[in-house]
Amino acid sequence: MKIYAIAVGLAAAVALSGSVNASPLDVRANNEGLSIDYKCVFRIMYQLIGYLNTGTAIGSAAQCSKSNAGDGYVAGAFALTTKYGTALAAIDEYKKSPKYNKEFDAFIPTLEKYNQTMSGSTEGLDKFCDAWTTAAKNEDAFYNAQIVTVRNLYGEPTVQVARSLFIRFPLTRAAMTNAAIVGGLDNKDSGLGAIIAATSAGFSKSVNGTSGNNVKAGSYLVDEFLWLDAFLDKWDKLSKGGSTATTKVYRGLLKAGFHRFSDTIAFTGLDNKPVSFTCIKLY
């Protein structure tokens, strides 16, 4: 179980600006010559990220517990929290479904208050996890709401950033999205912006490599695989080692050549057992 991600999960995810219209996983504009199945990328990426955030893949959509890091309650497949309003965002999404059965109505005013004040209080939320578990019986609708929320809050903004850097490979985008979910999008602490800035700053010249694609690192152009490797190092550094269990998995995928998420990915999991994800329908 990856306590760090749950503790810090979505911590910096507070103010998110602007909506993004582009299809979330479509980087085809930069992708001539690279054949990528975006449907499989979506499916495999969110299984992987869910797994790395909670220790289990899809099944964790029902999971809910009091945060041991003061984030209120932590719930769902991506360690959403009541403190940072991400659980509320998923509930708002779930409310749009005909399957919504008023499970959360009694909690919404409190959840809104705690989101506004970024409070990790659990007062008034005693039965919150009961509601979450009940809602999770509507597997498809509720998991869908969680994944849509994470994609809107982190996945889409990350795609825009990736595009601007000429990043092509789904593996790189998965690592970036994962970093954004754990540390936020911002250019501070271990937020995605801060990790990218540190990664760029680490290069003092252009470097070619084996990926066949060069990405922007400040004013240089650097092989995407080398860039990803540097990105993972900086993520570890800025998270003060908190991300190492996660980055180890991404390094393994990089080394083993799972760059495209087009079919199956396989790696040594958090408990050192083999894990694999295939292109299955998520909901």
Closer to ligand NAG by Cβ: residue 17 or 272: 17
> Does the protein bind ligand NAG through residue 187 (CB under 6 A)?
no
Residue 217 interacts with ligand NAG (CB under 6 A): yes or no: no
Of 220 and 283, CB closest to ligand NAG: 220
**What distance in Å separates the CA atoms of residue 137 and residue 38, rounded to the nearest whole number?**
29
- Contact between 115 and ligand NAG by CB under 6 A: the answer reads yes
Nearest alpha-carbon partner for 49 in 188, 216, 177, 213: 177
Count residues binding ligand NAG (CB under 6 A).
9
Contact status: 85 vs ligand NAG (CB under 6 A)? yes
Instruction: List the strands of the sheet with 80-81, edge to edge.
Output: 64-66, 73-75, 80-81
CB of 213 to ligand NAG, least distance (A): 11
Name residue, tokens 């360690």: 79
CB neighbours of residue 123 within 10 Å: 9
At 5, list the tokens: 């991600």
| Cα–Cα dist 23/77, whole Å | 22
Is residue 264 a contact point for ligand NAG (CB under 6 A)? Answer: no
DSSP SS3 for 140: helix
Phi, psi of 76 (to 5 degrees): 85, -175
222 binding ligand NAG? (CB under 6 A)? no
Dihedral pair phi/psi, residue 80, rounded to 5°: -70, 150
What tokens does 169 get?
């490979």
By CB under 6 A, is residue 80 in contact with ligand NAG?
Answer: no
Least distance from ligand NAG to the Cβ atom of residue 189, Å = 19
Residues linked to residue 267 through DSSP beta bridges, in sequence order: 275
CB of 24 to ligand NAG, least distance (A): 19
- 248 phi and psi angles, rounded to 5 deg: -60, -40
User: Which range, of 30-38, 203-211, 239-247, 258-266, touches ligand NAG by CB under 6 A?
Assistant: 203-211
Q: Minimum distance between the CB of residue 207 and ligand NAG, rounded to whole angstroms?
A: 6
Residue 152 vs 262, nearer CB to ligand NAG: 152
With CA atoms as reference, report the closest residue to 160 among 24, 273, 66, 47. Answer: 24
Residues 14-53 as x/- pattern, contact with ligand NAG by CB under 6 A? ----------------------------------------
Q: Of 84-92, 135-143, 191-199, 244-252, which segment contacts ligand NAG by CB under 6 A?
A: 84-92
Of the pair 117, 268, the CB lying nearest ligand NAG is at 117
Q: Is residue 117 part of the contact set for ligand NAG (CB under 6 A)?
A: no
* Distance, CA of 153 to CA of 164 (rounded, Å): 18
Binding site for ligand NAG (CB under 6 A): 85, 88-89, 92, 115-116, 206-208
